[in-house]
Each structure stands twice: as structure tokens, then as C-alpha cells.
Amino acid sequence: MLIFEAGTIALCGLLFFAFTNLEYVYSVTLGGLAFVVPNVLFVGFSLRTSTTDSGNRTLVWFFLGEVIKIVTTIMIFAISIILVEPLNIGMMFVSYGFVLMMNLTGLAIMMKQ
């Protein structure tokens, strides 16, 4: 799912590059990356232990991954807003919300199967 979302971000970035200015390209790409990168880190931490390990250890890695995901998301937004000069903040949040909705839709489809 994360690979599909990253591909969608890249495709949207290329489309905005072809038809608009760089401000929108930066905004869309950074908004999407603010969702994908923290989730990749979360997956890495939450899958760190196997299911045969003790439940407490698995739970600790899961919650640590969740904390790192939240902090990383905030850091990506803050650093992007501070350092990237031609940035449309509204478009950045729309892109983040779009990828979030893609994730939730994929989750709903997977749960029905």
C-alpha cells in the first residue's frame, strides 16, 4: 500500500510539474511525503519483533513506532514550512489528506475481503 501511495505522489508531482509551477510541485510532494515517510518508519518499528516474542515487547515496539511516526510527521511539516520558500501550505495539507484518504480506502477494501 505504501509503495502505491508513493507512486501516486510521484505521479501527482510529475503532473503538477508539467502543468503548473514549482510551488505546487513542492507542496504536493512534501505533503505526500509527510504521510509516507513516517508510515514507513512505523512499519519498520512495529514489525521489528516476530509474533512469537512476548506480547509486551511487541507492544512496546508498536507504540514506539507510533510516537516516532507522529513526531516525524510534525517535523516534516515544520521543516517544510520553514525551509521551502515557494510553498503552498494549503496544497501541502490537501496532498497529505489525499494520501491519508487513499490509505483509509485501501484499508476498508482489505477489511471487506
User: Comparing C-alpha atoms, which of 67, 65, 90 is closest to residue 77?
Assistant: 90
**Locus of grid cell 513506532:** 65
pLDDT value of residue 55: 67
Q: Is residue 52 pLDDT above 70, yes or no?
A: no
Residue 105: HSE in the Cβ half-sphere, 13 Å Cα cutoff: 8
The neighbour count for residue 15, using CB atoms within 10 Å, is 13
Q: Give the end-to-end CA distance of the chain in Å, rounded to a whole number.
A: 15
| Average model confidence (pLDDT) across the chain | 90
What predicted TM-score, i.e. pTM, was given to this entire model? 0.86
The region of weakest confidence among 14-18, 56-60, 81-85, 86-90 is: 56-60
Q: What does residue 76 show for φ and ψ, rounded to 5 degrees?
A: -65, -45
Amino acid (1-letter code) at residue 21: N
pLDDT value of residue 100: 94
Domains in the chain: boundaries: 2-112
The neighbour count for residue 48, using CB atoms within 10 Å, is 15
pLDDT value of residue 50: 66
Interval 3-27: pLDDT, tens: 999 999 999 999 999 998 889 999 9
